[in-house]
Every structure is written in C-alpha cells, then in structure tokens.
A and B are shown apart, each in its own frame.
Chain A
C-alpha cells in the first residue's frame, strides 16, 4: 500500500523533479509509471525507498510515513521493498547467486533456506544456469534480470522496478511482467517505471503518466 499525498520534489540544485503528485496504490495492485525522459519516474521511486527526502507532501508505505523514519529504521524499512534499479546496482565481485542472496544475507537468513530461495528466484527469471558466474560475464539483459531476482527473493511487500525491461526483447519483457504478476497475486503492490509503450499495451494495468514532474494522467489504459 503506497500513498502519495501532494508530494513535490526539488533537488538541491534547483531542479524540480515532481510537482504536487498524489495517488494511492492498493495491495495487489500494479501500476506503470510513464513519461518522457526526465519526467520524474526514477525520482518518484527514490522517494518511496527513502533515498531522497520529499520537499513537500508526504509518502506512506504500509501506513508508515517515510518522512518520520529515523536513520536507524531506514534499513529495516528498505527490506520490505524489492527494488530493481535502472542501473542494475550489482556487486561485480560476487557471483550471480551471491548477488541475489544479498537481501537474505542482510536479514540473517539460514544458509539452507537462502540457497533454496535464491535458486527459486533465479529460476523465475531464467538464470538458474548462471548462478555461479560473475555479472560482468553476462549480457545487459541478463544483468537486469539478476536485479529482478534480487528484488523478489526476500518476498517484499512492495516491488519498485525502474525500467526493468529496458534491455530485454518483447518476449523476455513479457516474461518479467508475468513474474511480477505472481507477486501481485499474493498481495504485493508494484510500481513499474517504463517508457516501453508496447509493454503497457500488452499488460492493461493502471498507468501513472508524468510530464515535467506533474501527474497528468492516472488511468487504466484500455486498448
């Protein structure tokens, strides 16, 4: 459950990234966030992860006001969220399996359960055979899918995906969306930032359309 209440974001250098954005995303709901490059899609996701503070308004995740989170609580808060980053954010000196295991390692999972979960997550994104390889030896699309496996491995309450299909062909993109749909089915809220219009056409979920930081359209695309 995510609530944006009249949120604005202005970066330190004066760049305005979001202006008075309000919306609610319920449990088990998927929404695409679209808009031109620089419209504020990544910024919107960063606010939810508490990577950046809001300049105005409030953001709630599961009834937690992120603005009120103390520094100490932020790590624990982030563990409830599975995030896929536009620039992957992988550890290049650890194997694919170790990368995916990172969220579990952080929350102190037993080794045996970790292995099982990591393999299940890798299987979902079709990378089971690459578990022992290093990210650098994988293609851009494969690296993106490592990030997706890492985002879902901890069974988060909320999944935020920033251009998760940017490097994927239509077939794989649809595959990734189907993985997300499995989580939607168990009550996870998902926000997927993308400008892949063909994907939006194939999966008729709600669309939050940003333009110059303003939410100009909030609708279910029906084509």
Chain B
C-alpha cells in the first residue's frame, strides 16, 4: 500500500496519466479502424449533418454583406413644391449636405430632369420642345451608410421640410429583403439546432452500440474496480475522433460547394446591382468547425457512455 501512495506523489504521475490517455486514444482509433465501413458511414453522416448549419451560417453572412452593399445604394428623392425657385432648391440642397446623416446631395432642376428623362426613354430632343415642363425639381440625397430604420427616419424628417412636397425612398424592396432575411436567420437557427441534436443522437447511438459490443469486457473491468470514467475514456476518444473527422468532411464538402456556387451566385447578385465575393471559410473558421465537431462528438459520447455504463452491472 505504501508504494501506491508514494507513486501518486511522484512527478511522473502526469506522464503516467498521459501514457494511459494515449493508450486509450490509440485503442479507440484501432477499434474504429476494425470496422472501417460503419466508421466511414458514421463520419460521413456526421460531416453532412455538420455541413448544414455551417452552410446556413455562411449564406447568412454573405447575404448580410450583400444587404449592406444594397443599403449603401439607398437613395432618397425629394420632390420640391412647384413654386420653388432654382436658387432656393440649390440652397436647400447645400443645407441638406451639412446634415450628419447625408453623404451626398444633388439638385436636379425640372429642365435637367426632363433632359435626362427623354434621353433615358429615347425620345431624343423631342420632349424638350414641350412648352410646359411637367416635371418638378428634385433633390437626390444619398444617406450615410446606416441601417434601414435610420434611413427611413431620415426620409420622414426630410418630408417635413417646407419646400418638399413628396419624399420617395427607393429602397422599400431592401426593407422587405431584410425582413425576409430575418425570418431566414431564425429558421436557419432552428434548423441548425435540430440538426445538431440529430448529430448528438447519431454519435450517441454509435457509442452506445460500441459499449454494448464490449459488454463482457466492461463487466470484467467493473469487477476489478474500474470506475465509469475509466471505462468511458476510450469511448469518449471514439466520439471525439468521429466528430473531428466529421468536421473535416464538412469542410471538404463546403469547399466543393463554394467552388461550384461561387460564379452563379456572383452573377445573380450582379443582376440586382450588388457586388458579391462569395466568401468561404478561412483557416480559423475551418479549424472552428472541426473542433466544434470534435466537441459535439465528445459531449454526445460522454452522455451516452455514462448512461449506458451505469446500466451495466456485473
């Protein structure tokens, strides 16, 4: 007995622990490799399950980038009262530029507007021959980049100005898009939660089967004084290894996916006047996915094995 106490106080205790852990890790890798097919299937399933939340996260991140871009292209058009003179209009425009919320303002006189309009619709000079120009003077305001709510508030404020007859915010579709994105984000979070729960069940079930396969061995270890923690250790390694491998699979699948989707998506966003660089995962994020997989695998294995091992009695 004396020797045992002495041993446990030696500085070598850490080395002993490490050696024991290494042995368990090697043992669990070995056992996983003994059944290469079912191990491969489990890892692939885990990889695919991990892929979904990651893809949703990425889609959301990319979408937010696009939306920010769209938002900075928001324009507020102020239609001025008919009796506003050109100098009053220019003065107002310059005043608006001094506001903190505006980045750029431009006064467009009725004749400029008519010229632009007729060249845009292709009537050439014929419209400018109209005796009475029906178009009002306008001021176009580009707000400093901000959230849609701020831009909307600014537009409402500008509508109160005395010379302004009508305000038009040409970005209502962005607001709608934002609302839809919000719904999407919530859905994505829920879906991820469901998928991750499923992932835990998959890993947990695999570990449970592994424990049942080694029932006889576990009973022997219990007979000679093995704790549940000791018995669980190789299974925790197995869970973590399956999770890590699943994370690697998810990263590979994601890489293929971004490669395949990058061009069509860029084109699509281009159609709406946005600019998109589809960003995949950087090295740090990939490491995060792999580690998250390992962590989830470990946790699922922990719960499954402690429940299962407690149920086995010699």
Contact = CB atoms under 8 A, between A and B. Distances in A.
B31 to A, nearest CB: 10
A83 B20 contact: no
Given A106-B230, A110-B10, A110-B12, A75 B20 contact: no
Interface stretch (B99-107, B119-127, B218-226): B218-226
Interface residues of A, number: 28
Contacts of A111: 16, 19
B153 interface: no
A121 B250 CA distance: 50
Contacts of A90: 220
Contacts of B19: 111
Nearest to B31: A93
A170 B217 CA distance: 31
Nearest to B4: A107
Contacts, number: 65
B10 A106 contact: no
Contacts of B230: 75, 106
Given A106-B221, A109-B7, A155-B1, A75 B16 contact: no
Give chain B's interface residue range (CB within 8 Å of chain A). Answer: 20 to 34
Contact of B225 (A79, A85, A110, A157): A79
Main DSSP-derived SS at the A contact region = loop
Contacts of A91: 217, 220
A155 B225 CA distance: 14
Contact of B224 (A93, A106, A109, A113): A106
Contacts of A150: 224
B16 A109 contact: yes
Contacts of B222: 75
Contact of A108 (B20, B219, B221, B310): B20
B225 A75 contact: yes
A169 B223 CA distance: 27
B134 interface: no
B7 to A, nearest CB: 6
Nearest to B222: A75
Contacts of A157: 1
Which of B12, B224, B310 has the most A CB atoms < 10 Å from its CB?
A: B224
Given A105-B20, A110-B16, A78 B7 contact: no
Nearest to B229: A75
Interface in A90-110: 90-91, 93, 102-103, 105-110
B262 interface: no
Interface string B106-120: 000000000000000
A113 B227 contact: no
A113 B217 CA distance: 24
A102 B12 contact: no
Interface in A3-28: none
B61 to A, nearest CB: 46
Interface of B: 1, 3-4, 7-8, 10, 12-13, 15-17, 19-20, 217, 219-228, 230, 310, 314
Interface of A: 49, 51, 71-72, 75-79, 83, 85, 89-91, 93, 102-103, 105-111, 113, 150, 155, 157
Given A105-B20, A110-B10, 5 more contacts: A77-B225, A91-B220, A103-B225, A108-B8, A155-B1
10 contacts: A49-B223, A51-B223, A51-B314, A75-B225, A76-B227, A77-B225, A78-B224, A107-B4, A108-B16, A155-B3
Nearest first, the 3 closest Cβ-Cβ pairs linking A and B are: A79-B225, A78-B225, A75-B227
